[in-house]
Amino acid sequence: MNESQRAKIILKILNKTYPSIKVPLKSRNVFTLLISVLLSAQCTDVNVNNVTSKIYPKYHQPKHFVKLGRKKIEKLIKKIGIFRIKAKSIYNLSKILIEKHKGKVPKTYDELEKLPGVGHKTASVVMSQGFGYPAFPIDTHIHRLAQRWGLSNGKNVVQTEKDLKRLFPRKNWNKLHLQIIYYGREYCKARDCFGVTCKICKTCYPKRTKPIKTKKA
């Protein structure tokens, strides 16, 4: 079975398992989506949603966070990992959005990735979930599963993104990236499946008997 055949099987299983999918991070607009994705680094979506549920009803525009200032932002997000660094990024990117983008989140990768704290993965999520642009955000979660399922050689997330975009139809990217995340959390966990117990792993590699080791991104 080659990688293209595996990709078709995986897409079929994921569509059957998750015919519809919800965006895990809750937001009020594209700006709050950007903030939530930034906050989700090294933090669970559940924790981010719990924290932002008390923030977004009152603060949901760049001008709100500029007015708050770094110290008050820190207090609001202190239950989230590396909150001081993230507070600094939120404050600075809010200022830039006001000064350079009229308070709006830019719709290009180039402009998004120039914002403090915003890398390619964060920009991809915003482009996908905020603007509906076909994108394939790759985090360490998807990177690990792509190796496990034989879709990428796993050298880095950049290569993994190229491989997955090549293997799957463009129209599926936005939904597929979420399907893979949900499937990994539920069925192909890092320390449970090891590439030998879930339906995808068993279907793609019926003869695999030993746990597979994956490389870090």
Q: Which two tokens stand for residue 139?
A: 């985090």
How many other β-carbons are positioned within 10 Å of the β-carbon of residue 200?
23
Q: How far apart, in whole angstroms, are the C-alpha atoms of residue 139 and residue 155?
A: 13
Dihedral sign for Cα 65, 70, 73, 79, please. positive
CA distance 201 to 150: 9
- C-alpha 130/C-alpha 137 separation (Å) is 13
The residues annotated as belonging to the active site are 121, 139
- Report whether 79 contacts 71 (CB < 8 A): no
Q: How far apart are CA 67 and CA 75, in angstroms?
A: 14
